[in-house]
Amino acid sequence: MKKVIKNNYKILIGIIIGIVIISISIVYAESTMIDSEEVTYDNTTSHGEHNNVQESIDELYERSGLHKEEWTDKELKGNDPVLKGDLIPVEIKPNGDVYYANKHSEWYNYSEKRWANAVILQKGKSYSVGQKIEETDINGYFVWIPRYKYQVWHINSDNDAKEGNTLTNDNYNTSTTQALGQARLINIEFESKETNKSSAAKDGDWLTHPAFTLGDKELSGIWVGKFETGGTSSTDMVVKPNVTSWRSATVKTFFDAGKNYARETLDSHMMKNTEWGAVAYLSHSKYGIGTEIRINNNSEYKTGYSAAANTDQSIYLGTYGTDDKTTQPYNTPTGYLASTTGNITGVYDMSGGAHEYMAAYREGTVGSSGFTNELDLTKEVENGYIDKYPSDTNSYSNRILGDATGEMGPFYYYWDKNSAKHYHNVWYADDSYFIDSSYPWFLRGGCQADGVMAGQFHFDGHNGIASEAYGFRLVLSPSN
C-alpha cells in the first residue's frame, strides 16, 4: 500500500512539474518571439512571421488547460472586433504587406490611430497565425468601426442653403477660408452596447451613433470595406487596393450584391448613409486623421490612390490622372493621407474615386434604381439595411443625426472659381446637395475629378440609375 501511495505521489509531482515547465516555456517563447521580431510601425510595433512558434504556443495552452486571453483595447469599452465567418485578423505593414495577426498580442490600438483590420481569403486559401498573406489570395479587406457615442453640434439644421458670395480669382482664398471656419474635432467616446443608448435633444448632448443599431440588433461595431468595391459583377466582386471600382450598375444591383456577399454568416450589405457618417465622424476625431481626407484622383478609378502634393485640388474640376506625379497608391506616405487615420490601417476612397451610392433614399420615390416599387424596400428598411428619409420636404433638416449631412451646415450656394455654381458646406466646402423627388438616392464622397468638392463630408443625390462614375461599398455587421 505504501508503495502505491508513493508511486501516485511521484506521478502527481511529475504532473505539477510538467505544468510549470509548460507555463515557463509559453512565457519564454512569447517574450522571445516579441523581443526578437519587433519592427518599427509608425511609432508602434508589428510582428513578422512566427508561424511555428505561435502554433507551438497555442498547442501548449490547449494541452495544459490554461486560459490565454485575447488582446483587447480598453479604450473601446468592450467593443473589440467581432471575428466571425471567414474574417481573419491581420496586421498591415506600412508597405502593404499583410500578416495573419496574433490575437493574443496588440494588433490594433485606437488611441494610437491604428484601427483593426481583417481580411476574407479567396476560396480554398488558408493561412496560419504569423504567416504573410499573399495579396492574390485575399478577396476582401475590412476595417473595424467600434460602437461609439458623439457630442452633437448644429442639431437644428438649416432648411435651405443660403446664397453666398461669388468666388472669384481675387476673393477665392479668403472666401474658402471663411467656409472652412466651422470644421472641428468631433468629440467621440466608445460606448458599450450593454449600457442604455444615449440620446440628444440639443447641441452638446451625446448621441449613440445610429449606425450601430441594425433593425432590432445592437452592435459592438461594423466592418467597413477598406476600399470601394472592385470587380465588374457580383461574381468577381472584391474589396482590394489597386483594382478598378465596380461601377455602371443600378442601386438594386449593388444592393443585391451586398446582400449576397455573406448575409448569413456576416450580415453583409450595401453601405447605408448613417454608416458612412459613422466612418466620417470617427475620421474627424482624436482617433482618426482629424482633418479632410485627401482625394483619390486616379482617373481610371483605381482603389486606394491619393492625389500627389503638387496637384491643384482647391477648385472644381481638380487635377486628376494616372501618372505617379499626379496620383500615388495607398501604401506610400502620400497614400496614407487618403486614409481615415492618416496611416495604412484606415479606410480609403472616402474622398474621390467613384461616387458611392448609399442604401438610403427618399420615402415614396424609387427613381430608376431597379426597384419596381417601394414595397420592394419595406422589409429591408424594417430590418435596418436601408435608411429611409421623409418625403415632406427636401431640406437639410430631414437629415438623420449622425449621417454627416445636415450637421455639416450652414450651407451656401455660390459660384466657384471656375464659374460653376454649387451648394457647399462650411466644413471643407464639400458639395452638399440633399436628396429630392428627382434624385432620391444618396451619393457620397465625390469622384476623382471633383477637386475641392470631394471629401468624406460630400453628399449628393441621383435617381439610382447605372452610371460609369457611380459605385458602392460593402459593410459587414456580425453580432456577438
Whether residue 142 lies inside any domain: the answer is no
Same domain for 30 and 158, yes or no, is no
Whether residue 260 contacts residue 233, with contact meaning beta carbons closer than 8 Å, is answered with: no
State the chain's mean pLDDT as an integer: 86
Q: Which helix (H) or strand (E) holds 360?
A: strand 355-362
Instruction: Extract the C-alpha cell encoding 413.
Output: 450656394
Cα separation of 227 and 331, whole Å? 13
Q: How many domains does the chain have?
A: 2
Where is pLDDT greater, at 52 or 253? 253
What is the reported pLDDT for 419? 60
Whether residue 239 lies inside any domain: the answer is yes
What is the reported pLDDT for 411? 87
Cα separation of 385 and 165, whole Å? 40
Average pLDDT on 234-243 reads 97
Same domain for 170 and 271, yes or no, is yes
What is the reported pLDDT for 29? 44
Average pLDDT on 168-176 reads 45
* CA terminus-to-terminus distance, the chain: 54
Q: Which residues pair with 414 in a beta bridge?
A: 422
Of 48, 64, 80, the residue that ends a domain is: 64
Same domain for 190 and 50, yes or no, is no
Same domain for 59 and 159, yes or no, is no
Whether residue 351 contacts residue 404, with contact meaning beta carbons closer than 8 Å, is answered with: no
Cα separation of 140 and 216, whole Å? 27
What is the reported pLDDT for 395? 83
- Crossing angle for the helix pair 51-64 and 2-37, nearest 10 degrees? 150
Whether residue 96 lies inside any domain: the answer is no
Model confidence over 411-467: pLDDT tens digits? Answer: 888 776 666 778 888 899 899 999 999 999 999 999 999 999 999 999 999 999 999
What is the reported pLDDT for 181? 61
The pLDDT-based confidence of 159 (bands split at 50, 70, 90) is low
CA-based angle 383:229:282, to the nearest 5?
A: 70
Instruction: Extract the C-alpha cell encoding 120.
Output: 476574407
Whether residue 97 contacts residue 132, with contact meaning beta carbons closer than 8 Å, is answered with: yes
Whether residue 172 lies inside any domain: the answer is yes
Model confidence over 19-35: pLDDT tens digits? Answer: 444 444 444 444 433 33
Whether residue 164 contacts residue 145, with contact meaning beta carbons closer than 8 Å, is answered with: no
Whether residue 75 lies inside any domain: the answer is no
* Whether the predicted pLDDT of 102 surpasses 90: yes
Whether residue 192 lies inside any domain: the answer is yes
Residue type, 384: G
What is the reported pLDDT for 416? 67
Model confidence over 362-377: pLDDT tens digits? Answer: 999 999 999 999 999 9
Same domain for 56 and 173, yes or no, is no
What is the reported pLDDT for 424? 87
Same domain for 158 and 31, yes or no, is no
Cα separation of 165 and 175, whole Å? 8
Cα separation of 164 and 178, whole Å? 11
* Whether the predicted pLDDT of 168 surpasses 70: no
Range of the domain at 41: 2-64
Whether residue 378 lies inside any domain: the answer is yes
Average pLDDT on 331-358 reads 98
